[in-house]
Structure 1
Amino acid sequence: MSKSTITYWNPLLPVNGGKWQPISGLEGMAEELTLSIDQETGEYTRLTRFHPGADTAAFGGKRHAYPEEIFIVSGRLYDEAFGVWLETGHYASRPPGELHGPFRTDEGCVVLEVSFPNRTQA
């Protein structure tokens, strides 16, 4: 099987606002929109939208056993683990186990995430 496909559309348009889902535990701070997923492998591409003022410090940093790529589509997001403001255009390819976050944003931020949960670290 392969990742799901869809014809051109713009998930950032207000008309598509109802397709975003709150992230469990981050309700009111962040929401997500899965763009593509492989039901067999679990690999996915999604957007995460952090609302202005969001702060995930209460949840601490995060690491997972699989690699992921992120791209800042708009806004800015502070990554405490790296002590850096990620702004529009920033990109990272994270190896398995890399600590990232917690995150905070003043103006809000949209992040494109491509994750590979089937490629876990042994």
Structure 2
Amino acid sequence: MSKTTCTYWNPLTPAHQHRWQWLDGLDGQVEQLILSHDPVTGEISRLTRFHPGADTQLFGATVHDHPEEILILSGHLWDEAFGMWLETGHYASRPPGEVHGPFRTEEGCLVLDLSFPQRSVE
């Protein structure tokens, strides 16, 4: 099996609002929309939307055993681990084991997130 595919569509239109899902424990703050997924490898492409005032401090920092890439599409997001505000256009290609977060935003933020669990460090 391979990663799901689709033709052109605009996930940001109101017609697709029903596809967004709240992240566990972050109802009303952070939601995701899966763009494509490979159920065998776990590879995923998604949008993550941080609503104004979102704060993930209760969950602490995050670290993965696999690489991921992120691109800030709009807004501002504070990354505590790096002590910096991320803004539209900021990109990161995170290696396995890189600590990031917790995150907070005042105005909201939209992030493209690509995750590659099949490339885990064992």
Q: TM-score, normalised to structure 2's length?
A: 0.97
| Alpha-carbon distance, 1:64 to partner | 1.0
Q: TM-score, normalised to structure 1's length?
A: 0.97
Tell me the equivalent position of 1:54: 54
| Alpha-carbon distance, 1:8 to partner | 0.5
2:114 is aligned with what amino acid? V
Tell me the equivalent position of 1:41: 41
| Alpha-carbon distance, 1:7 to partner | 0.7
Matched, 1:80 2:83: no
The two structures, once aligned, show a CA RMSD in angstroms of: 0.7
Task: Quote the Cα distance in structure 1 between the aligned partners of 2:73 and 2:6.
Answer: 20
Where has structure 1 moved over 3 Å in runs of 4 or more? Answer: none
| Alpha-carbon distance, 1:53 to partner | 0.2
Task: Quote the Cα distance in structure 2 between the aligned partners of 1:39 and 1:102.
Answer: 27
Q: How many residues align?
A: 122
| Alpha-carbon distance, 1:113 to partner | 0.4
Task: Quote the Cα distance in structure 1 between the aligned partners of 2:43 and 2:8.
Answer: 20
| Alpha-carbon distance, 1:95 to partner | 0.3
- Where structure 1 has 5 or more consecutive residues not aligned to the other structure, the ranges are none
Q: Deviations over 1:52-98 (max 9, x none)?
A: 00011111101010000000011110000001111011100000010
Give percent identity, aligned residues only: 66
Task: Quote the Cα distance in structure 1 between the aligned partners of 2:15 and 2:4.
Answer: 22
2:119 is aligned with what amino acid? R
2:17 is aligned with what amino acid? G
